[in-house]
Structure 1
């Protein structure tokens, strides 16, 4: 048991550069305290002491500012960073090595009892500050949800979801679910190598236009040879230069 506790503490040190040592994490991180409270309340819930489990979860919310229903299932090395305002519903399932930031709601959209109302997060998922994940669907392993996004449908593994309602960007690098590997961990779900689909579409149009300009220049040269009149390469080169500058601006 103690190995598991220290494993969770060490995973927090890996993911939070502000964490200096184990003592600081154990005494000062309310997200860790909330998870520990939940381990006890969840055990009580499973053996039928549901009222006591709910009371303990209310005590935890009062102390930590984090509300976790005792029926929720939370995996190993889950990090509730900052934590204040996090709400995790009854049928939520959170996989190993997930990171959840302040103000996140893992909520339900159904009023029916005894059904899966809340989301399931796979391994290594990052849910950024203020995001709302609502419904009984699955967020795939290594997925990232941007700040203040409202997710209402399934997210594929390795993808990034942003916006209201959330739209899925193209899948990025495969996500490491090893808590001791920092290479692919992205704080707040932010990664520099994920392009917005609108920017990608514009870049594609610019590339196609540059290609067409090159073909037109070749046709002009061929026609000039046939008619023995010089072609005007200046206009084509100016267009290429302008389009190239616009493409570089989009990359920024």
Structure 2
């Protein structure tokens, strides 16, 4: 059974009549709070189907998370109300929608203004959740960031569908300072799983269906259907002398 089929079965088996409306309201709350007096822009986003599209993506993220995380007991409501790592993804979806919508605007001032608002949403989410996702990052459907604290996803990062990322993961650039203003962050394929505190640096490509062990440091491309294992750390157990 595919993950998408599981999500559909979950949606059909649980009453979600208010989940979707609560997601919609959460999106609008974030927009109203950050757009302040620009009420007409919220209306424009709604009329252009932006809010509906974002809501659908968040709904998919939520169903997938409920299916994948056993501690959630298959309860989307539980995740929506209590998982800060999910709130980080939710905030990213809203910030990214604003960032992408800004590309359609005519004046430079309007573009910059909307991108600043998108970044503010991202920064607020970082403080609240401990997860930093740049609003310009390109992320596919059904992303899960589990636990999440300390995870950083850079501006030019690209992530495929059905990826699972744990806490402390860094998808960053190779250099500390003086990075070039172009593609400098990783590209992850679909169904990639990244273990805790793994770090992937530079514009490397991680293929589909790759599993990356915790604490791995990656600076070169990884082909599809691979597993990256850390072998430089050994666990030694010694009997205590009483």
TM-score scaled by length of structure 1: 0.62
Contact 2:173 2:179 in 1 (8 A): no
Question: What are the residue-to-residue correspondences of 1:41-60 with 2, within 5 Å?
Answer: 41-46=95-100, 47=102, 48=111, 49-60=114-125
Q: Does 1:67 find its partner at 2:132?
A: yes
Runs of 4 or more, structure 1, over 6 Å off, are: none
Question: What are the residue-to-residue correspondences of 1:89-238 with 2, within 5 Å?
Answer: 89-110=154-175, 111-163=178-230
**Change in 2 beyond 3 A, CA 1:4/1:43:** closer
Q: Which residue of 1 aligns with 2:88?
A: 34
Alpha-carbon distance in structure 2 between the residues aligned to 1:112 and 1:132: 17
Alpha-carbon distance in structure 2 between the residues aligned to 1:137 and 1:65: 25
Alpha-carbon distance in structure 2 between the residues aligned to 1:109 and 1:4: 31
User: What is the SS of the residue equivalent to 1:76?
Assistant: coil
User: What is the SS of the residue equivalent to 1:109?
Assistant: coil
Contact 2:58 2:93 in 1 (8 A): no
**Change in 2 beyond 3 A, CA 1:26/1:117:** same
Alpha-carbon distance in structure 1 between the residues aligned to 2:199 and 2:179: 20
User: What is the SS of the residue equivalent to 2:72?
Assistant: coil
Instruction: List per-residue Cα deviations over 1:184-243 (Å, max 9, x = no partner).
Output: xxxxxxxxxxxxxxxxxxxxxxxxxxxxxxxxxxxxxxxxxxxxxxxxxxxxxxxxxxxx
User: What is the SS of the residue equivalent to 2:59?
Assistant: helix
TM-score scaled by length of structure 2: 0.65
Contact 2:164 2:193 in 1 (8 A): yes
**Change in 2 beyond 3 A, CA 1:86/1:164:** farther
Q: Which residue of 2 aligns with 1:207?
A: none
* Bigger mean CA deviation after superposition, 27-36 or 117-126: 27-36
1:4: Cα distance to partner? 3.6
Count, aligned residues: 165
**Change in 2 beyond 3 A, CA 1:107/1:15:** same
**Change in 2 beyond 3 A, CA 1:45/1:6:** closer
Q: Which blocks of at least 5 consecutive residues in structure 1 are unaligned?
A: 166-252
Q: Which residue of 2 aligns with 1:226?
A: none
Instruction: List per-residue Cα deviations over 1:6-33 (Å, max 9, x = no partner).
Output: 3221211221110121110111112221
Over the aligned positions, Cα root-mean-square deviation in angstroms equals 1.6
